[in-house]
Amino acid sequence: MEKLIYALWRDADTPRAAFNERLLGEVAEAIAPHVRALRINVQDDALPKGSNPVFVVTQPQMEAAVQVWVDTAFPPARAPIEAALAKLSSRVEGWLVAESTPLPNRAHPPGRPTEGFSQVVFIEKPDHLDHETWRRNWQDGHTETAIVTQSNFEYVQNLVVRPVTPGAGPYAAVVEECFPLAAIQDKQLYYDAAGDQSKLEANEKRMLDSCANFIGAKGCDCIPMRQYEMKTLA
């Protein structure tokens, strides 16, 4: 089994709510017969604005991430999936990834949407690091920090193997983390330091120092979204 992640952009003339409705409705229904599992993350104007990290590198930034688990990433097998996405989106970029889940979601049943919010991060490898050093800094060095300094209840690392669509961005990884909804507006809660300013400052510093070891000066796209589990593995 293989995993694919697609980033989607909407036409500027299409309201976000209409884009999300079609993606979670007719497009998901068209994709579902061709995949083992389907998860969709969308930007949602109903999410409150808060103090959680939000970074924009890609202009314009992607509106949604579609994650699919398939028997094979062979192009003819991908074709109906990508055709369904292209009917909705003005731009589609996709990557084959190797998934690792250091923190499985055991706190909240996956749903439509899942409890809380998901933070989806698209990361490029800094030029000054070779690939294996970058990977070790991220997966071997950063993973524990990401779990112990935050209130995330799910943490998924997707190491990009290769692009599968022409012109796909040069991302080396796509990360998804899920947090309690209140953490989007409560920095202490986000950094697992409720009521403790000193712990907040320590956790935030540890997190930022660790991120600097694998995220370059260019930064990354860090986007609050809602997670929708449309089809699960049997």
Domain count, the chain: 1
- What CATH number is attached to the domain comprising 40? 3.30.70.100
Q: Among 233, 222, 207, which residue's Cα sits nearest to residue 118?
A: 222
Mind listing the pLDDT tens digit of every residue in the chain (234 residues)?
999 999 999 999 999 999 999 999 999 999 999 999 999 999 999 999 888 889 999 999 999 999 999 999 999 999 999 999 999 999 999 999 999 999 999 999 999 999 999 999 999 999 999 999 999 999 999 999 999 999 999 999 999 999 999 999 999 999 999 999 999 999 999 999 999 999 999 999 999 999 999 999 999 999 999 999 999 997
Distance (Å, whole) CA 160 – CA 169 = 11
100 bridge partner residues: 157
- The helix/strand count (H/E) of the chain reads as 7, 8
Distance (Å, whole) CA 29 – CA 22 = 10
Judge contact between 157 and 143, C-beta under 8 A.
yes
Distance (Å, whole) CA 97 – CA 5 = 7
Structure confidence at residue 52 (pLDDT): 87
Question: Which residue range forms the structural domain that includes residue 11?
Answer: 2-231
